[in-house]
Amino acid sequence: MSTLGTQIRLSRIINNKTQRSFCVAMDHALHLGCSKGLEHPETVLDAMAEAGVDGVILSLGSALRYGAHLVRNGGPALILRLDQTTMWREGTDLDYKDGHTRMVASVNDAIALGADAVINYMFVGHNDPAEETIAFRSTSEVNAAARAAGVVHIIETMGARHALAKNINDGSFVAFHARIGAEMGADIIKTDWPGSTEKLRSIVAQSPVPVMLAGGPRGKSDRGTLELVSSVVKAGAAGILFGRSVFEANEPLAVMRACRVIVHEGGSVDDAIDTAGFHALPLTA
């Protein structure tokens, strides 16, 4: 049973009326260095507030430098990223056979910053089982600290890239680690797209906690992003925690407005486009 503190903080991330949430991940520079679309984080945060984004994932450094915008704008809610990973370096000169993940902030940091939630990765299926052991041990320690403090714990369960899983988006595999994350004590699960609306619907139906979806790399078009958001909502998921699909968009503010229409108003993709204020239909990359 979650504490009152956890419930209050959760209500600032997942809307009580719609039981859905639209959050944006802005922690990419922690893992990848300079990131397209995040050259001026403060302007992205201001746009989020204007669009009505519920929560934002920030690293410790960004929270310290730009958190004042959250106060001035009255939101979004702060979700503090606690760990850093090399998992997204695949295909680069800085790649490792196994991705390595380590804690770089704490629940105490989140409390000091006024964060409503913390988030950490829990990658599954490394080539080296010791790496998976580290992931589970770290997740357990974060969960214990978050529960004690009444802070929402979002566990981002994913398959370790270029490791044991042949297809990280296989529905059975996503269901496997998403359920394990719930059993580890997560208040919310963030996870990969499992390949289809039907497979996601099955994962959501079996999960004892809300499930939210990661966006991954930006697709071919902004309209494609909105179609994915619509599929997530139709599957019954709690919402999205997209990053690059939002802040790398042709028109980030319009995409955010459109995402909110789909997530919280149940609007169609066409309805969202009509009401979001696009200067041009987001049909091309």
Q: Which of 238, 285, 274 shows the shortest CA–CA distance to 11?
A: 238
Per-residue pLDDT tens for 213-227? 999 878 889 999 999
Q: Which residue has the tokens 């859905």?
A: 20
The pTM for the full model equals 0.96
Hey, where are the domains in the chain? 4-276
Per-residue pLDDT tens for 232-282? 999 999 999 999 999 999 999 999 999 999 999 999 999 999 999 898 765
Phi-psi region at 148: left, alpha or beta (left = phi > 0; alpha = psi -120 to 50): alpha
Answer yes or no: are the C-beta atoms of 163 and 98 closer than 8 Å: yes
Answer yes or no: are the C-beta atoms of 189 and 213 closer than 8 Å: no
10-residue mean pLDDT series, the chain (285 residues): 89 97 97 93 97 98 98 98 94 88 98 98 96 97 98 97 94 98 98 97 98 89 95 98 94 97 97 91 54
Looking at domain 4-276, its CATH superfamily turns out to be Aldolase class I (3.20.20.70)
